[in-house]
Amino acid sequence: MLSAGEIAAGVRAGSLDAVEVVEEALDAARRLDPVLHFLEELDAGTAIQLAREVDTSGALAGVPFLVKARTPPESPILERLLAAGAIPIGTATRARPGPGSQTYGWNGSEYTRNPWDVTRSPGGSTAGGAAAVAAGVVPLATGGDSGGSLRIPASFCGLVGFKGTLGRVPRAVGRALGGLTTAGVIGANLDDVMLATSLVSGPHRLDPTALPHWPVPILADGPFRVAYLSSLSSYAVDPGVDRVVRGCLSAVEVVDVPLDLLPTDDAWQALSALDAGRGVTAAEASRARQVRDHNNTALADLFDVVDALVTPTTLTVAHGYDQSNENIVVGDPCWAFNVTGHPAVSVPAGLLDGLPVGVQVVAPHGDDATALAVAKQLMVSVDVRRASPSWSARDRRARS
């Protein structure tokens, strides 16, 4: 699969036909979904019709993508991707409502599988989109991140997952009371993710309080000073994951700076309840506010000394496809930055026992470009075609 930028450039130049590109994506989805179970629904008819009618001058002209299941059809992110010429080919799986952990996908009868190893989960809740991007079906998929739902699957699948500063991308429901969720995209290519985020950014009639339009940044080359923490709580990172992430830090200067964050578990639960329209007590709301304010101040002090904070994205590599509740704390490094609203991006740091490891970069509020610039310095190219031998020969040929 070409990158989104390469596809759009080819369609604009006339060297690629949008209908053929979309047909190839649909064919790949039909062949690989019986193995990976990443689709909730494939909408081939609409996709082909949109490809026939596409404005070939668009910034994402002819680029096929998947939409996270249960995304409102009036969502600003969909409206703006379509306006840029991108073509949705269907909806992708996510976790079922209710379980304590959302780091898996479910299509109604089967768990979504990770292309690197089909005994593993692709993460979640942007599960199907991550699996499809990692498998080369589409270069981009939409999602939302309220507790790591873009970054965790990016880590598990060797992709880029970007949660911009809170409000970076407008949402159909506007700004929620708890302020945890940021809409966004997941992709295999950092430039693709930046371009798509820029195109969908800016205030919208359904979310007029969203941040101003975010132009695609020209990323600085550094040098960068960063703080590295292997964990943000009492939960320990797997030593192998820590070793892989530390291995990519040679590109930056690591500074030993203390960071005193309050635990965010209870605050996140209270804010999530507010986002969902459930009641919380006055004491719970007050405590969540105290945690948010304390942690924002602590991070502001940290960013007076360093450009960014770096952590492992997840404490382990991908867990079993049906073992999310047993691994509920796997995304612990992610939740704190939904509570505070900081920009955070996950990119591949390398492999551990043949499975991707993600590195997370966090930067000051509004300074999304620095998070991305540091991430670009740290990221390590991984190739999903080196994935687990649990793939059949037929499926390997289908992906080559």
Higher per-residue pLDDT: 384 or 197 = 197
Q: How confident is the model at residue 173 (pLDDT cuts 50, 70, 90)?
A: very high
pLDDT in tens, 130-157: 999 999 999 999 999 999 999 999 999 9
Which bin fits 189, alpha (ψ -120 to 50), beta or left (φ > 0)?
beta
Give the residue numbers marked as catalytic: 68, 125, 149
Angle separating helix axes 265-275 and 332-340, nearest 10 degrees: 60
- Cβ neighbour number for residue 103 with a 10 Å cutoff: 29
What is the mean pLDDT of the segment spanning 250-278? 95
1 confidence band (pLDDT: 50, 70, 90): confident
What is residue 389's predicted lDDT score, i.e. its pLDDT? 38
- In the chain, the domains with their CATH numbers are 4-217+387-399 (3.90.1300.10), 225-371 (no CATH)
Say if residues 194 and 206 touch (Cβ distance below 8 Å).
no
Average pLDDT of the segment spanning 59-82 = 98
Q: Is 385 a residue whose pLDDT tops 70?
A: no
Question: For the stretch 118-153, what's the b/e string if a residue is b when 16 or more beta carbons lie within 10 angstroms of its beta carbon?
Answer: bebbbbbbbbbbbbbbbbbbbbbbbbbbbbbbbbbb
Is pTM beyond 0.75? Reply is yes
Between β-strands 64-68 and 355-362, what pairing exists: parallel, antiparallel or unpaired? unpaired
Q: How confident is the model at residue 99 (pLDDT cuts 50, 70, 90)?
A: low
CA 166 to CA 250: how far, in whole Å?
30
